[in-house]
Chain A
């Protein structure tokens, strides 16, 4: 009797494991099957017939850990795309090594359309800094850019700075004295902090934090002088009266956001810097054209879906139009890449 109980227990444990971590099982046997499936129909039916895609679930590689804004976005978007693709998209988090792990993983998968990679500026930055041997822009093709995030700069309400002019005046008189925080050294936040400073003709010190919560605590606790963040994280602190917004990195004021509508934009203040974050999707180069078309169509349809519009409004990513179609998205990469190289050279991150 007791042995039976123990056996039942093992069964339960094993099954919960299988049930709880389906993605853990999936990737291992996949590559062999994929190559067999992908090559067979292509050779048998050269063109003429419409391709039968997808036949099985598609893997959505998220090069970030679970729970962050990019993870939640990709998981949410995958569910909407599923409606139009007919097969589920399973999310796989490969958050290691500052997106390099996800990049390497997606690069290692066969170019059959069954692996889609979520991207943000971080992947271009990895290439700009030469951190991975995989040249992102020449190995992947754009599907679409879905959304973009506006970054705002503010200070704690206890700060002496009432507006952006005072802040810049002080920073000019005291170079490197002000501390601004962000996530990941040499990453997007670092770029934005330094790019803004460069455009404004000031210098401040960038301090990297491990997580958004530590960053916010450092601002409210007075360790950092200046706070920069994307809207979804920035707004609650403004609404609660803890943070005084000074400037939004945009062409014009953000009229659609109640508490920020009187805050000047960087361009209005003569600081030509509007970089924010954005999120989009890519597939590996070499995916058959027909398959690529099916994927792009499904992702485009999902963008028009009401469910996405609701998601966008909730995440406050609809403030600035982020949508770019496949072609324009690819073109935008080169332009952004060049400015990353320029700023990182100035920062001394790359030679």
Chain B
């Protein structure tokens, strides 16, 4: 109790509160800009922390992290440009909703879900960090493989409209993920001696291309058949959903937050996998799965609540074991070291104030998001009132800058444009860009952990089913994969019998 009061009194200092506010805002802006990831945002803030005391420094970095995980949804919803990989799933329903004219609603939902996810995982972190950290160690290669399969099996839920084509798209994505230096033997695959291909295809530039640029192409095509002076999005509603209405979806909120926290804890999986799995689960368990993808609230809540919950989750093994739970957490851990702190079991024992400071920092950042963020982000929605030629140019510019700043390389820009075309034709012929990206993101995790487990099992495959946790997750994957197919089959059959009786 003493510690809590002590750490609270440190945080309440005006300077620290200011840092949290600035950090959250800065994180949100960086998150909204494609190509400027949360880790880059934290690195940019790092020099400012050198002269601060550790608690202030950590507060700044953690609030940037929270802001970044939230900001990605802003551009995902408004521009179909996921600002961060974590926000890919948010485009599925967020963009249709904003196209419908409910941009304010979509943004409000995203921010509320984000702050809920943050608060949930922060509470989990502080109550049971040492217990939860054990979970991180239960996850070994076999479990990673199984988890990757759960992610991939979401495909039947996400691409429920045309499952065959969605599966084809995911396979294509998996194929593209093998380009580059393979991570087990170091062999070049499909690189054709081109240095820029050695590192593989960067899924962020693919994501910007296939979502944002393809969308610009599509709009340009539509506009050329129409008087360009008309503003496409003349109706932009900035109404925010009422609190009481949101409460009705508490199940989605909590389930997604749990998924996010758990996946965040696991070192090799982060917010992007968490949000995809949580979205898949929301579709699977929904009574109206066919409404997903058309812009329903649950489709925004699920990924946003999960990717922010992954923030708190990823801090658990970072603080307790010194093993970062996500790439962003790895940067925060590096920052800890610069501040003279060494994360690990000793840190929690020697500096209990710090863990509480992170907890309260996340809590305040989340509350800030909830109260202020809903109104601030709503103003972002005004961007949709721009005439499309202007907006389209802005999106393309943002995309180019975003792809370039990934590695300061024009190859990524070229890849973005190539996948812009591919994404455009995918959409036209009802293949699924999201499924393709799902394959591209998860391909490496799945392949890598599969091959590692086989090396570790001395060439035997039995490890996957002999390890109880791995077996359990594999079964979850099977259920996730099959249940939409079965329910669709049942529905078709029902429809047929109804027809025949008529």
Q: Please report A residues at the B interface, Cβ cutoff 8 Å.
A: 2-3, 5-6, 9-10, 12-13, 16-17, 20-21, 23-24, 27, 66-69, 72, 76, 92-98, 100-101, 104, 132, 177, 179, 184-187, 205, 207-214, 216-218, 220-223, 232, 236-237, 239-242, 314-315, 349
Cβ of A155 to closest chain B Cβ, rounded Å: 15
Q: Are A96 and B199 in contact (CB under 8 A)?
A: yes
B40 at the interface (CB under 8 A from A): yes
> Which residues of chain A are near B398, meaning CB under 8 Å?
13, 17
> Which residues of chain A are near B136, meaning CB under 8 Å?
217
Q: Which B residues from 143 to 187 make CB contacts under 8 A with A? A: 180-186
With A205-B455, A217-B139 as contacts: A97 and B181 at CB distance below 8 Å: yes
> Which residues of chain A are near B405, meaning CB under 8 Å?
21, 24
> Which residues of chain B are near A241, meaning CB under 8 Å?
345
Q: Are A16 and B33 in contact (CB under 8 A)?
A: yes
> Which residues of chain B are near A20, meaning CB under 8 Å?
30, 33, 36, 40-41, 44
With A210-B268, A236-B343 as contacts: A100 and B379 at CB distance below 8 Å: no
> Which residues of chain B are near A232, meaning CB under 8 Å?
337
With A66-B43, A185-B183 as contacts: A9 and B36 at CB distance below 8 Å: no
| 0/1 interface trace, chain B 329-363, chain A, CB 8 Å (1 if under) | 01100100110101111100000000000000000
Q: Are B456 and A211 in contact (CB under 8 A)?
A: no
Question: CA of A5 to CA of B182 in the docked complex: distance in angstroms?
Answer: 48
Cβ of B421 to closest chain A Cβ, rounded Å: 24
> Which residues of chain A are near B44, meaning CB under 8 Å?
20
Q: Are B141 and A218 in contact (CB under 8 A)?
A: yes
B39 at the interface (CB under 8 A from A): yes
Q: Are B408 and A6 in contact (CB under 8 A)?
A: no
> Which residues of chain B are near A97, meaning CB under 8 Å?
180-181, 195-196, 198-199
Q: Are B344 and A6 in contact (CB under 8 A)?
A: no
The 6 closest A-B pairs by CB, nearest first: A97-B198, A186-B186, A96-B199, A185-B186, A221-B137, A240-B345
Q: Are B331 and A66 in contact (CB under 8 A)?
A: yes
Q: Are A213 and B267 in contact (CB under 8 A)?
A: yes
**B96-104, B204-212, B320-328: which lies at the interface:** B320-328
Cβ of B70 to closest chain A Cβ, rounded Å: 16
Q: Please report B residues at the A interface, Cβ cutoff 8 Å.
A: 29-30, 32-33, 35-36, 39-41, 43-44, 136-141, 180-186, 195-196, 198-199, 267-268, 317, 321-325, 327, 330-331, 334, 337-338, 340, 342-346, 379-380, 382-383, 385-386, 394, 398, 401, 404-405, 407-409, 448, 452, 455-456, 458
> Which residues of chain B are near A237, meaning CB under 8 Å?
322, 344
Q: Are B195 and A101 in contact (CB under 8 A)?
A: yes
Question: CA of A80 to CA of B174 in the docked complex: distance in angstroms?
Answer: 45
Select A17's contact among B137, B199, B401, B407, beta carbons within 8 Å. Answer: B401
> Which residues of chain B are near A24, meaning CB under 8 Å?
401, 404-405, 408
Question: CA of A311 to CA of B46 in the docked complex: distance in angstroms?
Answer: 15
Question: CA of A76 to CA of B43 in the docked complex: distance in angstroms?
Answer: 12
Q: Are A66 and B267 in contact (CB under 8 A)?
A: no
Main secondary structure of the interface of B (DSSP, over half): helix
Q: A26's closest neighbor in chain B, by CB? A: B408
Question: CA of A5 to CA of B382 in the docked complex: distance in angstroms?
Answer: 8
> Which residues of chain B are near A101, meaning CB under 8 Å?
195-196, 198-199, 407, 409
Q: Are A210 and B198 in contact (CB under 8 A)?
A: no
With A66-B39, A185-B186, A217-B136 as contacts: A236 and B334 at CB distance below 8 Å: no
Q: B412's closest neighbor in chain A, by CB? A: A96
Cβ of A69 to closest chain B Cβ, rounded Å: 8
> Which residues of chain A are near B404, meaning CB under 8 Å?
24
Question: CA of A95 to CA of B448 in the docked complex: distance in angstroms?
Answer: 20
Cβ of A154 to closest chain B Cβ, rounded Å: 15
Question: CA of A242 to CA of B455 in the docked complex: distance in angstroms?
Answer: 24
Q: Are A184 and B138 in contact (CB under 8 A)?
A: no
Cβ of B138 to closest chain A Cβ, rounded Å: 7
11 contacts across the A-B interface (CB closer than 8 A)? A20-B30, A67-B39, A92-B408, A93-B407, A205-B455, A213-B317, A213-B324, A216-B323, A217-B321, A221-B140, A239-B344
Q: A23's closest neighbor in chain B, by CB? A: B408
> Which residues of chain A are near B338, meaning CB under 8 Å?
72, 76, 314
Q: B30's closest neighbor in chain A, by CB? A: A20
Q: Are A314 and B337 in contact (CB under 8 A)?
A: yes
Q: Are A216 and B322 in contact (CB under 8 A)?
A: yes
With A5-B379, A17-B36 as contacts: A211 and B408 at CB distance below 8 Å: no
User: B33, B323, B330: which has the most chain A beta carbons within 10 Å?
Assistant: B323
Question: CA of A236 to CA of B334 in the docked complex: distance in angstroms?
Answer: 13
Q: A72's closest neighbor in chain B, by CB? A: B334
Question: CA of A205 to CA of B455 in the docked complex: distance in angstroms?
Answer: 8
Q: B347's closest neighbor in chain A, by CB? A: A236
> Which residues of chain B are near A96, meaning CB under 8 Å?
195-196, 198-199, 407, 409
Known contacts A2-B382, A211-B267, A214-B267; 20 further A-B pairs (Cβ under 8 A): A5-B382, A9-B382, A9-B383, A17-B401, A20-B40, A27-B408, A96-B196, A96-B199, A97-B180, A97-B198, A98-B198, A179-B456, A207-B456, A208-B452, A216-B321, A217-B267, A236-B346, A239-B344, A240-B322, A241-B345
> Which residues of chain A are near B324, meaning CB under 8 Å?
211, 213
> Which residues of chain A are near B408, meaning CB under 8 Å?
23-24, 27, 92-94
Q: Are B184 and A208 in contact (CB under 8 A)?
A: yes
Q: A67's closest neighbor in chain B, by CB? A: B331
With A3-B385, A214-B267 as contacts: A236 and B181 at CB distance below 8 Å: no
Q: B394's closest neighbor in chain A, by CB? A: A10
Select A66's contact among B40, B182, B379, beta carbons within 8 Å. Answer: B40
Q: Are B140 and A218 in contact (CB under 8 A)?
A: yes
Q: A190's closest neighbor in chain B, by CB? A: B186
Q: Are A13 and B33 in contact (CB under 8 A)?
A: yes
With A16-B29, A20-B36, A185-B184 as contacts: A213 and B330 at CB distance below 8 Å: yes
Cβ of B380 to closest chain A Cβ, rounded Å: 7
Cβ of B419 to closest chain A Cβ, rounded Å: 18
> Which residues of chain A are near B343, meaning CB under 8 Å?
236
Q: B36's closest neighbor in chain A, by CB? A: A20
Select B185's contact among A185, A209, A218, beta carbons within 8 Å. Answer: A185
Question: CA of A2 to CA of B181 in the docked complex: distance in angstroms?
Answer: 50
Question: CA of A213 to CA of B266 in the docked complex: distance in angstroms?
Answer: 10
Question: CA of A2 to CA of B387 in the docked complex: distance in angstroms?
Answer: 12
Question: CA of A97 to CA of B194 in the docked complex: distance in angstroms?
Answer: 10
Question: CA of A98 to CA of B199 in the docked complex: distance in angstroms?
Answer: 8
Question: CA of A240 to CA of B327 in the docked complex: distance in angstroms?
Answer: 23
Cβ of B33 to closest chain A Cβ, rounded Å: 6
Q: A103's closest neighbor in chain B, by CB? A: B195
